[in-house]
A and B are shown apart, each in its own frame.
Chain A
Amino acid sequence: MNSDPIIQVKNLHKWYSGVHALKDVTLDFSRNETVGLVGDNGAGKSTLINLLSGMQSPTEGEIFFEGNKVSFKGPADAMEAGIETIYQYNSMVPTMSIARNMFIGREPMKYSIGGIGILDTKKMAVESVQAIADVDLHLRSPDALVGELSGGQRQGVAIARAMHFKSKVMILDEPTNHLAVKETQKVLGFIKSLKTLGIPGIFISHNIHHVFECCDRMVAMARGEVVLNKRVEDTNMTEILEVL
């Protein structure tokens, strides 16, 4: 495995109708590393993530993925490239089954015309059972509705989905928000397991403890800028709280 960064962002700027949300951000995310991204509300974390996941495009600056310059036109492009984003709430549809949620937007089809076709439901069921078992999650049936799962289980399914589609980078946007303590531990466990699987991750959180627990490098943002970028062993909680 080579050591050059999987994602590089250079001089990234983002303006929202007069608000300078992201100011000249330059960062490298290397392979084999889980990066913790911390910062207060409005610090620019979510903006950066939105640019990486294709939800928005930068006003200025460049994004390189595996050394190639990319400009995502939408989330589908980013997912196609291999960047999977897991949001705190909105990555699952509660009224749909686990199997269907696994494959939203990437449904396996028996045959199709012009992008619309008949679903291969058998394949969906089999593969989702496998994917869920792979992340060590035990659920009764792929036909259970996601709305019946607990918050932690939902994140587990989302992570299983990302793994199943062989994503090259996983972005986790506040995955532990609104979760019970036990559930939070479970999700942190998932994040730690990313490293053993060799999938680089970017973990965004308000909770610095959580980030320290499972990341290799800390990036702190404030007022749209990167104010700290150090290996976990070279920094500590106090220093980070000071710069925020």
Chain B
Amino acid sequence: MVILTIVFQARSGGVFLNAVNLQGILGLLPEVALVAMGVTLLMICGEFDLSVGSVFALTPMSMAVLLEAGWPFLPAISVGLFVAMAVGFVNGVLTVKFAIPSFITTLGMLFVARSMTVVISGGFPPLLPLNVIPKWLFVTYVGPGDMFRVSFIWFVVIAVGMTLLLSRTNFGNWVRATGGFLPAAKSMGIPTKRVKIACFMICSLLAGFAGTLQVMRLGAPLPSIGEGLELQAVAAAVIGGTALTGGIGTILGGIIGATLIRVIDNGLVLSQVDANWFKMALGALTVFAVILNAWLRKKAKSIKVETGK
């Protein structure tokens, strides 16, 4: 990351690290990173969620439609987030009840939720009545030199909370056990089904919240936001060291992955590289990260075997 920063700083003629650009990166980061955190948690639990991109759009759209209908802000955002959790709940219940791969359940949900977003928007995105949104609570700039948006604070608080949840609570232990080796978790009496459903709900909720942040930043709920985000989130989790097989990974890793993706995206643009190279870089990085992880794990194992006994 340091290397990338230096390269981009040089290539962009000093723009990369200037305050305005950092402000831009830090403003965008929470949105992607929140989604990545949720996906990371779910992947550690051994499941997948491809519907986060759609939930990212559906949640703020539900909120916007209600706001337009004259609802006050608090109930509207609550309903929006409730919708997100409901989607996660449905994903979870379908997956564990019928024992089907979550890849399929959430692939279906990707289309369903996206479609619902367009339907409730009625084809024309409603205008956000800006005067009722407490912008100071979510998107205004704060901090020294207006470096952060308030959303960044939300992000930090949630990130710390999620990290503690995963590493310091019994629930986190159950999540890891469920994803690490399901039969063992079951035989030790962990309610694995409920753990999975809870992870689906948390993942969806974070995606919905992230989408809401983006919409409040942009000021208009487009039904198309978050398209392709699900794969970026998976990429972020994987770059951060989360194993597709479950049981392995950290929230911090997911955040680092998301940050790397943002930095590359932004850096490439500033380096005046054709923006279409972004996905190529993202793809290469993902594969590279997994290979590196596998190699490191093997290396670590052999070192341990040698010094063991």
**Which chain A residues have a beta carbon within 8 Å of chain B's beta carbons?**
53-55, 74-77, 79, 85, 87, 89-96, 100, 103-107, 109, 112, 115-119, 121, 140, 148
Check B171 against A95 for contact (C-beta < 8 Å). no
Query: Which A residues are CB-close (under 8 A) to B176?
Result: 93, 95-96, 100
Bound-complex Cα distance A53 to B189 (A): 10
Min CB gap A173→B, angstroms: 10
B186 CB to nearest chain A CB (Å): 7
Q: When the two chains form their complex, are residues B186 and A75 in contact, meaning their CB atoms are under 8 A apart?
A: yes
Mark the stretch among B82-90, B97-105, B106-114, B177-185 that contacts chain A. Answer: B177-185
Structural contact, A119 and B189, CB atoms closer than 8 A: no
CB distance from B299 to the nearest CB of A (A): 14
Out of B187, B189, B304, B308, name the residue touching A90 (CB < 8 Å).
Answer: B187
- Residues on B with beta carbons closer than 8 Å to the beta carbon of A92: 181, 184
* Residue contact A95 to B170, C-beta cutoff 8 Å: no
Residues of B within 8 Å of A118, CB to CB, are: 164, 168-169
B188 interface hit (Cβ, 8 Å) = yes
Q: A152 → chain B, closest Cβ, in Å?
A: 14
A104 CA to B177 CA, complexed, in Å: 8
Closest to A144 in B: B304
Beta-carbon contact of A107 and B170 below 8 Å: yes
Contact B304 A148 (CB under 8 A): yes
B-chain residues with CB within 8 Å of residue A77 when the two chains form the complex: 189
Contact A116 B187 (CB under 8 A): no
Known: A94-B180, A95-B181, A112-B170. 7 other contacts (CB 8 A): A75-B186, A93-B181, A95-B180, A116-B170, A118-B169, A119-B170, A148-B301
**Cα of A74 to Cα of B190 in the assembled complex, Å:** 9
User: Is the pair B170, A90 in contact by a Cβ cutoff of 8 Å?
Assistant: no
Q: Is the CB of A121 within 8 A of B168?
A: yes
CB-defined contacts of B248 to chain A, threshold 8 Å: 95
Which residues of B are found within 8 Å of A79, using beta-carbon distances?
Answer: 188-189
Residue of A nearest to B186 (CB): A75
CB distance from A104 to the nearest CB of B (A): 4
Tell me what chain B mostly uses at the interface: helix, strand, loop, or mixed: helix
Please name all residues of chain B whose beta carbon is closer than 8 Å to the beta carbon of A94 when the two chains form the complex: 180-181, 247
Using CB atoms and an 8 Å cutoff, list the residues of chain B in contact with chain A.
Answer: 164, 168-174, 176-177, 180-181, 183-190, 247-248, 301, 304, 308
Please pick, from A85, A96, A104, the residue contacting B190 in the complex, using a CB distance under 8 A. A104
In angstroms, Cα B183 to Cα A90, docked, is 6
A93 touches B304 (CB 8 A): no
Q: How far is the CB of A72 from chain B (nearest CB, A)?
A: 10
Alpha-carbon separation in the docked complex, A134 to B29 (Å): 50
With A93-B181, A95-B180, A95-B248 in contact, is A85–B170 under 8 Å at CB?
no
A93–B187 touching, CB < 8 Å? no
Known A-B contacts A55-B187, A85-B187; the reply to A100 vs B301 at CB < 8 A is: no
Q: Please state if B180 and A96 are interface contacts (CB–CB under 8 Å).
A: yes
Contacts of A93 in B (CB 8 A): 176-177, 180-181, 184-185, 247
Residue of A nearest to B171 (CB): A116
CB proximity of A172 to chain B, nearest CB, Å: 13
Most chain-B Cβ atoms within 10 A of its Cβ — which of A87, A93, A121? A93
**8 A–B contacts from the bound complex (CB under 8 Å):** A53-B187, A79-B189, A90-B186, A94-B181, A96-B176, A100-B173, A107-B170, A119-B172
- The complex places the Cα of A91 from the Cα of B181 at a distance, in Å, of 9
- Which residue of the partner chain, among A104, A112, A117, A121, contacts B188 with CB atoms under 8 Å? A104
Nearest CB to that of B167 among chain A residues?
A119
Complex Cα gap A119–B188 (Å): 17
A119 in contact with B187 given A93-B176, A96-B176, A103-B173 (CB within 8 Å): no
With the chains together, A89 CA to B187 CA distance in Å? 11
- Please, which residues of chain B bring their CB within 8 A of the CB of A74? 189
Question: Across the interface, which residues of A come within 8 angstroms of B171, CB to CB?
Answer: 116
Per the bound structure, the CA–CA distance linking A100 and B172 in Å amounts to: 11
Most buried by A among B164, B170, B301, B304: B170
Q: How far is the CA of A77 from the CA of B185 in the complex (A)?
A: 14
Is B185 in contact with A104, judged by CB distance below 8 angstroms? yes
Interface centre among A77, A90, A117, A140 (most CB of B within 10 A): A90
